[in-house]
Amino acid sequence: MRIITCITKKFNLLILFLIGQLFAQSVHAAFWETNSPMLVARTGHTATLLQNGKVLVVGGANATPPYNSLSSTELFDPATRTWTLAKPLNIARGMHTATLLPDGKVLVVGGVNNNGYPTNTEIYDPISGNWTINGSLAIGRIDHTATLLSNGKVLITGGYADYDIPSADLYNPNTGTSTNIGMMQVGRRWHTATLLPNGNVLVVGCSSADLYFPTTATWTNAGALYGRMCHTATLLPNGKVLIAGGIGGGGGGYPAITELYDPNTRIWTTNCDLNIARCWHTATLLPSGKVLIVGGWTSGGPANVAEIYDPIDKKWTETNPMNSGRLHHTAILFKNGKLLLAGGNAGQSPYIDLNPPTSGTEFYDSLKK
């Protein structure tokens, strides 16, 4: 009887172990699937989810060195998983921004090409498929941010034009006019701008942050945090902002430390560290309320490791790796919970103009169990 009891206990423990393993696998069962490549290899491009469900990919560069800016654009149809060329930009550009407007059109601002930093903006009409020169900025720039405000105007902050730009502009797509709205604390590039639930905009970069108030068109100091750039900022369901990764201030390494900003108290708090410190990655808020960090540059080169942040447990957990490491890519989340990664590069340097781009794309199913 003792022998049978011992065997039974060991059998039960084995069953519990196997159940635990199956549960652990189900948590991380989402996988990466290679998708059809883009028609043009590119990095420093933008990707915008249109109201018709397709993805518009714009510009970028496809040869380096030198930085060869593209005027080409293409459309991805998630129903057929195919790419088709769309009409080209009027002005080739890379490292620009693309903003989906309330009327379904797309505003492209800034960028760089062989002639410098174009000041002209362009608007894409998904119905006609045409690009139209819309207006201009006072200063052409790259590495800036563009945030759509509730009044339909677009806040353009910082960037680079042979110097770090400290000013901000309010751009009106309806009139094609730009208005200077003052100075941030410092000139910034490779920073982030997040539209908060209260309508204000949080700008983060270097070792400081600024708040912009659209109702009064004024700026205020939003406190100090760990110095970084080339990071990501994600608005969580609880209204807080998660800052992750980047390059340390003055180019000092890759901080694993993450931070949370509370708009209600305007206080920064230190959060749990990333498993893999990285910069030039993407961060996507998933339907579950968790945040998926993908790719980027690490101390060991391009990352194929992805990890997920749970805002309830405040923990980072590695998920299945991508098929290939990349940085300077784009990430688009569809309504069905699938994530499309497109382009970027995977060379031996973190800088966008020192690596050949890729046309490769991958799918991640965040709802797969």
Q: 97 and 139 share a domain? A: yes
Tens digit of pLDDT for each residue in 73-98? Answer: 999 999 999 999 999 999 999 999 99
Q: 175 and 88: one domain?
A: yes
pLDDT digits (tens, 9 = 90+) for 167-187: 999 999 999 999 999 999 999
Q: Is residue 143 part of a domain?
A: yes
Q: According to the model, what pLDDT value does residue 251 have?
A: 53
Task: Give the H or E element holding residue 26.
Answer: helix 2-27
Same domain (yes/no): 150, 233: no
Domain count of the fold of the chain: 2
Indicate the residue among 135, 164, 188 that finishes a domain.
188
Does an H or E element contain 18, and which? helix 2-27
The reply to whether 44 and 184 lie within a common domain is: yes
pTM: 0.90
316 within a domain of the structure (yes/no): no
- The DSSP result for 253-312, as a single string, is -----EEEEETTTTEEEEEPPPSS--BS-EEEE-TTS-EEEE--EETTEE---EEEEETT
Q: Are residues 50 and 180 in the same domain?
A: yes
The tens digit of pLDDT for each residue in 23-62 reads 344 344 468 999 999 999 999 999 999 999 999 999 999 8
